[in-house]
Amino acid sequence: MTLPCITAARRFDASAHRPFYFGDERVGWIRERDVALLERWPDVFEIGGGAGQARVALAAGFDTVAARSAALGSVIGALAAEGRIPGWRNETYAIRNAFDAPPLAYIERAASRFFGTMTYAVHLNGVVEYGDSGAPQLWIARRSDTKATDPGMLDNVVAGGIGWGFGVEATLVKECWEEAGIAADLARTARAGRTAHVLQSLPEGTQAEQIFIYDLALPADFVPHNQDGEVGEHRLARIDETARWIEEGAMTVDASLATLDCLLRRRWIDEDACEGIAAIFEPPTL
């Protein structure tokens, strides 16, 4: 059976987009219908058409990190003012095709999906194991109804994007406290799972994201408490309940993949029930 989250994680039509380049390096994807918006800045973007030339490139004169960031920043500000880039975060993301690569430019987080640039996130499975006294359970969060993306949907107990200047562990510790009130000492005991790779089309653009997945053993008497208003509630759920939410599409795509990784690694579900899941842990090829 192919689950909705696995299909969605690769729901991307390259022919409906133009690759976005800095020099010879592709750094993102821009929807065809959004290309016309960028034609207003002929000094910033070089827009090609025709066979083999369908691409958008930042003008060659912007050849430093500062110059690229400034040029994109003015465009992003204008598009956001027109409602073309929703969900402004006041968070800085670096444009880079690998997590440990040097930044090519800095942009507002909300613009990353308009330009289809690579982003990075951490997701944490909060696991409660009762030994001989009962079956394991997972803490599941419901996203606040005011979230810019996927409001009201079910999510992992902790999940967050990795902003520029933060490492994976630092983000994990920060998000653990903000989203669930998990102290730093406990958060640092989390164990790494696999990395999921998402490339999907969304209403706001393209999500090209690597998700670093972690599991954290939580004490039986621990109850998550959200600190930043981004979580509506937390639920302690049985494994069969969680699997049903994934199958029904009640959980976000990202959270579904992170949860499936946990369930598969711990052999709480059979991989035969997750057709196509192995490809999600490999970068997409286009």
**Sequence-separated contacts (24+) of 10-17 with Cβ below 8 Å:** 10/199, 10/200, 10/279, 10/280, 10/284, 11/200, 11/201, 12/199, 12/200, 12/201, 12/206, 12/284, 13/201, 14/286, 16/201, 17/116, 17/206
Residue 285 in any domain: the answer is: no
Mean pLDDT of 40-58: 87
Q: What is the mean pLDDT of the chain?
A: 94
Q: Is pTM, for the whole model, over 0.85? A: yes
Residue 122 vs residues 35, 54, 257: alpha-carbon distances, Å: 31, 34, 12
Residue 230 in any domain: the answer is: yes
Domain boundary (116, 142, 177) is at: 116
What was the pLDDT predicted at 230?
A: 83
Tokens of 196: 């999921």
Mean pLDDT of 53-72: 95
**Residue 201: how many other CB atoms lie within 10 Å:** 18
Q: What is the pLDDT of residues 86-120, one digit of tens each?
A: 989 999 999 999 999 999 999 999 999 999 999 99
Q: What is the pLDDT of residues 189-244, one digit of tens each?
A: 999 999 999 999 999 999 999 999 999 999 999 999 999 888 989 999 999 999 99
What was the pLDDT predicted at 210?
A: 98
Could you tell me if 46 and 109 lie in one domain?
A: yes
Confidence of residue 147 (pLDDT cuts 50, 70, 90): confident
Q: Is the pLDDT score of 17 beyond 60?
A: yes
**C-alpha angle 259/261/266, rounded to 5°?**
100
Residue 131 in any domain: the answer is: yes
Domain boundary (95, 116, 137) is at: 116
Task: Return all residues near 239 (Cβ < 8 A) that are at least 6 apart.
Answer: 135, 136, 137, 138, 263, 268, 269
Structurally, the chain folds into a number of domains equal to: 2
Are the C-beta atoms of 230 and 144 separated by less than 8 Å? yes
Question: What share of the chain in percent tops pLDDT 90?
Answer: 88
As a whole number of Å, the end-to-end CA separation of the chain is 25
User: Domain limits at 90?
Assistant: 14-116
Residue 1 in any domain: the answer is: no
Residue 57 vs residues 17, 43, 209: alpha-carbon distances, Å: 13, 11, 21
- The CATH number that applies at residue 225 is 3.90.79.10
Q: Is the pLDDT score of 45 beyond 90?
A: yes
Mean pLDDT of 72-82: 97
Q: Is the pLDDT score of 15 beyond 70?
A: yes
CA-to-CA distance for 124 and 157, rounded, in angstroms? 6
Could you tell me if 265 and 127 lie in one domain?
A: yes
Identity of the residue numbered 49: G
Q: Is the pLDDT score of 52 beyond 70?
A: no
Could you tell me if 149 and 84 lie in one domain?
A: no
Could you tell me if 204 and 258 lie in one domain?
A: yes
CA-to-CA distance for 150 and 233, rounded, in angstroms? 15
